[in-house]
Chain A
């Protein structure tokens, strides 16, 4: 049946992992596989988004996520425009909703939005006609990161269900942690969080995770170690006393990694602070570290999402005409 690979994702937007069904996540990952293959060809260009306009609207600085979305859109044939908070009307005091209305008048088909405030992307999605992809909102969600992480794991280990995943670092402020916890739980993995209590929300156990303050215990027998970036401004005595103390007790090095399964994978959403949350030796271990693979999967997952949302939109519009 034509278009079958597009029928598994029935939502108009991708605002978060929360609310997605296992089959929907599988559908995204399955379609992503196709784009992984295509991205390894010499000719990477397709035309499924020809004539479509994609606006990357970034209210918070980003290089890799924005580039990844830009590449994803261009490889699918979309016209991609980047807007960042610097130099735009945002700095002149225009509200988020005004910006949304202004952009909406230009009829973009897809808006990829990152914003420093939790909930801002959902708010914006209520005011525009096009599909909206959340590229990170405050400390809330970063769904494409969780999807690309899941794709990386699934390709390496063949499954998600039953795996033990340790997420370590600044869980308190991390949208990556929230989206990953949600997705891994939906797909049947067991999730642990490993961090000092000052970097954990008090109610984190309510998200269905096991909580550890000691990496030796938290990493014991895990299949995957997922390290999070630590914002250095949070390291000057406010959440942890110093970089060197954090690195000593929570940074991932060979000694701590030895507690994990012998073939445990090492992941990091980037950009890394070498010598803060992760040792260079571990980060560059080509046997264990899949950090660069995550970047590759990122483009494929974003292509799949753009494809799925464009498809959904085409069907919705067709429905309106009919």
Chain B
């Protein structure tokens, strides 16, 4: 099959999977990457190839955001696939993995198909829905893993809820392995933090708020790892925020368990002091932790214990944030801030560039078995052109998400996406869209 041929010239090609980092050109043909490398068009462009000059900027695989909440269906006033797709494209995100915590919950084959169709019709980027692990995300009865996967579910998760019943979790891990599916857990034991709204500690005590202790995460991760050892299943801890849970995953990986883990941007870009005096835009899941935990997240990303970085994009309308802290909605948006905030790790000297980008591309692709996330002949032509150094401030009013609940407004950052390509088509250009 052939299609329109586009040459991306004068690009710094970075492919985290292969370690490629060199100046050259890339050719797409239709929806796939046909060829790339230095000196690709040294003999001139062949006829019928449309040239795009990257001006020396980075050309990397499009980003894969492994934890995205979209309001559709059920909460279209917060976010639709159309608005999330625009935000994603502007953020260089070419693939969104969406959470099943919608209304209705995505726990049924028809709903997965509906989601996939809705996304295809209205989102500018690829959408892979995750389906619920248990019916109604109630944590009791398993959903139809095989049929859901066939319908397009990329992984299984109860999203914002942990599977607390150990027997249910054991069965989910065992049964999911039949279909080679990843069980994706949000590891927080709710019984240790029934009313918790922020990290338990001194600040929380002074503010008179109910805390979520680190142990709520550690206990859940440690239990899960034992069940992984018992069942041999595949497990992904969706959002780690504590030093001890990261240590547990590090040991489990060393022991050869089939385990992966992610961190959300806010877990390394902020600490609990951002809550200040009851700032509800800093009310997140997992909660913002102490500085030592924030540093442990950075270390976990640096040594590979944490496989990927996701935004945890969770749009909440302003009204649900303009409330007393305990009543305010949890969650922040992140599709458009994912890249610049991840690049802080590179600019601060904490992660090499290829690893920082790998956490957003090749590694989530590996965890979830996706063909995208790399620059290689035959791979999907999903690309992000990045101006690595340009300084700017995050402009919350300019964000494309329907909801503007970000704690990062006005934060000075370096680097932005200048062009986003999905399946060979440009879906975003900085200054144009």
Contacts and interface: CB of A to CB of B under 8 A. Distances in A.
Nearest to B197: A118
Contacts of A197: none
B219 to A, nearest CB: 16
A130 B135 CA distance: 51
A175 B319 CA distance: 27
Nearest to A97: B322
B322 A119 contact: no
Interface string B325-341: 11100000000000000
A214 interface: no
B277 A122 contact: yes
A140 B207 contact: yes
A118 B319 contact: no
A10 interface: no
B205 interface: yes
A122 B275 CA distance: 14
A118 B202 contact: no
A120 B324 CA distance: 5
A290 B364 CA distance: 65
Contacts of A202: 200-201, 205, 213
A137 B205 contact: no
B205 A118 contact: no
Interface in A196-211: 201-204, 206-207
Interface in B194-245: 200-202, 204-209, 213
Contacts of B325: 117-119
B202 A178 contact: no
Contact of A141 (B200, B208, B326, B327): B208
A203 B201 contact: yes
A96 interface: yes
Contact of A117 (B200, B213, B319, B327): B327
Interface residues of A, number: 24
A137 B208 contact: yes
Interface string B271-282: 000000110000
A297 to B, nearest CB: 24
A203 B199 CA distance: 12
A115 interface: yes
A137 B327 CA distance: 13
Contacts of A119: 207-209, 277-278, 324-326
B202 A203 contact: yes
A215 B324 CA distance: 36
Contacts of A137: 208
Given A97-B322, A115-B324, A122 B208 contact: no
Contacts of B200: 202
A120 to B, nearest CB: 4
A206 B202 contact: yes
Interface in B306-353: 319, 322-327
Contacts of A97: 322-323
A18 B327 contact: no
A97 B324 CA distance: 9
Contacts of A18: 206
A118 B278 contact: yes
Contacts of A123: 278, 323-324
Nearest to B201: A203
Given A119-B324, A202-B200, A203-B201, A95 B206 contact: no
A178 B277 contact: no
Given A95-B319, A119-B278, A122-B277, A201 B326 contact: no
Contacts of B326: 117-119, 138
Interface in A130-187: 137-141, 175, 178
A201 B324 CA distance: 21
Contacts of A115: 324
Contacts of B207: 118-119, 140
Interface string A105-137: 000000000010111101100000000000001
Contacts of A117: 324-327
17 contacts: A95-B323, A96-B323, A96-B324, A97-B322, A117-B326, A118-B326, A120-B324, A122-B277, A123-B278, A138-B324, A140-B207, A175-B208, A178-B208, A201-B205, A204-B205, A207-B205, A207-B206
Interface of A: 18, 95-97, 115, 117-120, 122-123, 137-141, 175, 178, 201-204, 206-207
Smallest CB-CB A-B distances: 8 pairs:
A140-B208, A119-B278, A117-B324, A139-B208, A118-B208, A120-B324, A201-B205, A206-B202
Given A137-B208, A204-B205, 11 more contacts: A18-B206, A95-B319, A97-B322, A117-B327, A118-B207, A118-B325, A119-B207, A119-B278, A175-B208, A202-B201, A202-B213
